[in-house]
Structure 1
Amino acid sequence: MSKKVTMQHIADSLGVSKFVVSKALSGKEGVSDATKARVMETAAQLGYFNQKNGYLKAPLPTKSEVSDPQRNSVLVLMPNIRFQTKTSAYWGRILEGISEKLDHEGVGMVIVAEQSVEHFMQLLNPKALMGIIGVGEVAAPLLLEAHRLGLPIVLIDHEDELIPADTLFADNFESMHRLTRHLIGTGHRELVFVGDARYSRSFYDRYLGFNRAMEEAGIVEPAAGSSAAHYLPVQGFEKEHFIDSITRWAAEKMDNGKMPAALVCANDQIALAALTVLQRLNCAVPDDVSVTGFDHIEDTDRTSPRITTVRVPKHALGRRAVELLQRRVHEREAPAEKVLLACELLYRESSGLGKQR
C-alpha cells in the first residue's frame, strides 16, 4: 500500500514549513502567489490531490441556489497575462462572444483582470454568481480560489489538472497538421516551425501537428522530434517582441545560403513579425520564402501579401463556453467535457509553390 502524502512531505520537498503549506493550500493570506504556485505544483507532483481526503473540494450550489434570481451574473477571469486583454485582437474577440451570448440570455458579466489571489475575494459577491469562465491562462492559485467558491468553471484555451472544469480549445493539432501537409503538398520541404512550443498548450498542440506532418512526409524521423533545422523557439507576446530574434536568425540563414522554403508560425503575431523581417531583408514572400500564421487576427487581412493563416472561431469559442457553463450549472454530475472547435484554413498570397533547393 502506498504511503499517504502529507503536508509535511510537501513542506520537506520545498524546504518550507508545514504552516506555509497549510496556508497555501487553504487559500489564506500571508503567503505570496509565487509560493502558493510552488506548493500546489509540488503537491500535484507528489499525488497529494489524488488522495481521497487530500483536498476538500468545495460543494457546488444546490438546485434551489442555482435557480435563485440573485445569481444573475457570470464571473469572467481574464487576468492580464501575455496581453490577455479586452483590446487584444485574439482574446478580445473571444470576450465579445461571451458577452454577446450572455446578453442574449439576459445574464450579466463581471470581468476580473486582477492577478493577486489576496485581492480576488475582496472583489466578489459569490451569491450573485452562477458560474465562472476563464479566458486564456489563469494562474493556478487564482483558479484554486475561484474553485473554492463552489461554482462551476469553464476554461477557454487553458486547462489545469488541479481544477475540475470543462475546457474549450480550437482544434490546434489537426488544423496545423492540415496546413503543414498543404505546404508539403505544394512542394515545400524545408519548413521551420517558428514559436516556443512551451509557451502554451495551444502552441504545443500546433507544434505537434506540424511535427506529425513532417514525420509523415519523411522529412524528420518518427518520434525524434523536430531538429534545430526545423524549429525556431522565439519568445514574446506581440509582433514587436519577435522582430529582433527573427532578424538575427534570418540574416544568418541568408548569409549561409540556408534560408528555408517556409516559415510555419505558431500564431499571427509571429507571422506578422516574420513578414516584416523578410521584407526588410529584401527576401521576397512568397517567391523566396512562404509565411503562414495561425488565429486569423484582422491585421493579416491588411498585409501585402495577405498572410495564409488558420481562422480560429473566436466568437464561437466565447459563445460555446457560455453554453458549456449553462449545461454544467444544471447537470453537475455529468462527465467533464473537453471540446475542440474546428478551424478554417485560409490559403492566401503569402504561401506559394515550393522550390527545389
Structure 2
Amino acid sequence: MAKKITMQQIADHLGVSKFVVSKALSGKGGVNEDTKERVIQAASQLGYFSQKNAYVKKPDRKIAYANGKQSVIVLMPNIRSQTRESLYWGRIMEGISMQLEEEGLGMVIISEQSVDSFLDILNPNGILGLIGVGQISTPLLLEIHRIGLPIVLVDHEDPLIPSDTIFVNNVDAMARLANHLMETGHQQLQFIGNNRFSRSFRDRFIGFRSAIEERGLELQAIGEAMENLVGVENNEFAGEIRSWLINLKKSRTMPTVLVCANDFIARTTMKSLIELGIDVPGEVSVTGFDNIDVGYSDIPLPTLTTVHVPKEAMGRRAVEKLLERLAKVNEPMEKILLSGDIVFRDSTTAARVQ
C-alpha cells in the first residue's frame, strides 16, 4: 500500500512550514500567489490530490434543492469571449442544458472567477457535481476539489487537478486536414494561431506539425506577429494579420495554404487576402477549425473549409460522464475524445502547378 502523502511532507519538500502548506491548500488566503502556486505544484507532483480522502470533505449527494431537483453547477468564467453568447462555448452550454433536462436535473450557471465569491453562493450539500467549460484557474479548481465535488472539464484540463475531461480529437483531426492538403499538392503550409492560448490550440498545432514532419517538409516559422493570435470572436487582430500578409507578399514567400487555429482567424485571414488582391483559393487556400458561422465580414468570402467540432455533443457527454463518475467514484479518471470531421468547402483547392 502506498504511503499517504501528508502536508508535513509537502512542507519538508519545499522547505516551508506546515502552516503555509495548510493555508495554501485551504483556498482561504494567507499566503502570496507565488507560494500558493509552488505548494499546489508540489502537492500534485507528490500525489497529494490523487490519494483517496486526502483532504476533501465528501458532501451528501442525495440532498436536493428546494425545487425538488438535484442540480449540477456549470462554471464558465467570463474571460476571452467565454460566454453563453459565444458561437462556440454557447453551443457546448446548450448541449449541457439539454442533457441535464433530459436527466431531470437542475442547472446552476456560474461565471464567477473569484474563489471567495464562488464559495459564498455554493452549497456543496445541494449539488451533484460541477462541469467546467473552457479555461478555469487552478486555484478555483483546487477549491472545488477540496470540498469534494466531482469535476468534469470540457475543452480544458489542469495538470494539477484530477478530473475527467472532454475534448474533440484536435490532434488527429488537424493531422488529417493537413495530410489532405498535402495530398492535393500543397508543399508550403503555414499554421496561424497562438499555440499557447489553450490546450485545443496547442493540440491543433501538434497535429499540424506531426503531419508536416512525417512528410519530410520544413515547418514554417510562425513569426512573432502570429504568436499574438488567440482566436477571440472578433477581428481585433485583423491589423496584425494584414501586416504579416503584406510582408509575405512583398518577399514572395506566401504559403500556398494557411491553416488557421479556428474559424475566426480563418475568416479574418481570408478577408485580408482578398483586400490585398490575393485570390482565395486560386492563389492561397485557407482552412479553419470549429465549424461555426462567423458572419462579421463586410465583403463576400468563400465558404470555409474547416473541421466540425461536435459542440453540443461535448456538452451532453460531459453530463453523462459526471453521472458515470458519481456511480463509480473510484474508477480511473478519463480523457474522452470525440471525433471531429473535415468539412470541405470553397476556401481550398489543389495547389497550382508551378
Aligned to 1:223: none
Aligned to 1:99: 97
Separation in structure 1 between the aligned mates of residue 96 and residue 302 of structure 2, nearest angstrom: 32
Residue pair 2:305, 2:348 contacting (<8 A) in 1 also: yes
CA distance 1:192–1:40, shift in 2 (3 Å): farther
Q: Deviations over 1:269-297 (max 9, x none)?
A: 11111111111111110011100000011
Separation in structure 2 between the aligned mates of residue 39 and residue 115 of structure 1, nearest angstrom: 21
CA distance 1:300–1:40, shift in 2 (3 Å): farther
Aligned to 1:28: 28
Task: State the AA in 1 paired with 2:279.
Answer: A
Aligned to 1:272: 267
Shift of 1:334: 1.6
Task: State the AA in 2 paired with 1:6.
Answer: I
Q: Aligned pair 1:202/2:200, yes or no? A: yes
Q: Aligned pair 1:228/2:217, yes or no? A: no
Aligned to 1:244: 239
Secondary structure at the residue paired with 2:236? helix
Separation in structure 1 between the aligned mates of residue 167 and residue 40 of structure 2, nearest angstrom: 23
Aligned to 1:184: 182
Separation in structure 1 between the aligned mates of residue 51 and residue 340 of structure 2, nearest angstrom: 41
Separation in structure 2 between the aligned mates of residue 298 and residue 37 of structure 1, nearest angstrom: 41
Aligned to 2:148: 150
Aligned to 1:293: 288
Aligned to 1:305: 302
Aligned length: 341
CA distance 1:67–1:21, shift in 2 (3 Å): closer
Shift of 1:27: 1.1
Where structure 1 has 5 or more consecutive residues not aligned to the other structure, the ranges are: 221-225
Match of 2:169 among 171, 176, 179: 171
Where in structure 2 are the equivalents of 1:1-150 lying within 5 Å?
A: 5-7=9-11, 9-10=13-14, 21-31=21-31, 34-35=33-34, 38-40=37-39, 42-43=41-42, 47-50=45-48, 56-61=54-59, 65-70=60-65, 72-150=70-148
Deviating more after overlay: 300-309 vs 50-59: 50-59
CA distance 1:182–1:350, shift in 2 (3 Å): same
Residue pair 1:126, 1:149 contacting (<8 A) in 2 also: yes
Q: Deviations over 1:60-105 (max 9, x none)?
A: 44xxx33344471100110012211101110000000000111111
Residue pair 1:235, 1:241 contacting (<8 A) in 2 also: no
Q: TM-score, normalised by structure 2?
A: 0.88
Task: State the AA in 1 paired with 2:342.
Answer: L
Shift of 1:7: 2.6
Q: Aligned pair 1:346/2:343, yes or no? A: yes
Q: Deviations over 1:152-205 (max 9, x none)?
A: 110111111222211110010110011001111111110000011111111111
Residue pair 1:94, 1:316 contacting (<8 A) in 2 also: yes
Separation in structure 2 between the aligned mates of residue 157 and residue 332 of structure 1, nearest angstrom: 22
Separation in structure 1 between the aligned mates of residue 257 and residue 75 of structure 2, nearest angstrom: 37
CA distance 1:178–1:52, shift in 2 (3 Å): closer
Q: TM-score, normalised by structure 1?
A: 0.87
Where structure 2 has 5 or more consecutive residues not aligned to the other structure, the ranges are: none
CA RMSD of aligned residues (A): 2.7
Secondary structure at the residue paired with 1:169? strand
Residue pair 1:24, 1:39 contacting (<8 A) in 2 also: no
Task: State the AA in 2 paired with 1:344.
Answer: D
Task: State the AA in 1 paired with 2:216.
Answer: G
Task: State the AA in 2 paired with 1:110.
Answer: V
Separation in structure 1 between the aligned mates of residue 72 and residue 246 of structure 2, nearest angstrom: 49
Secondary structure at the residue paired with 1:218? coil
Residue pair 2:152, 2:322 contacting (<8 A) in 1 also: yes
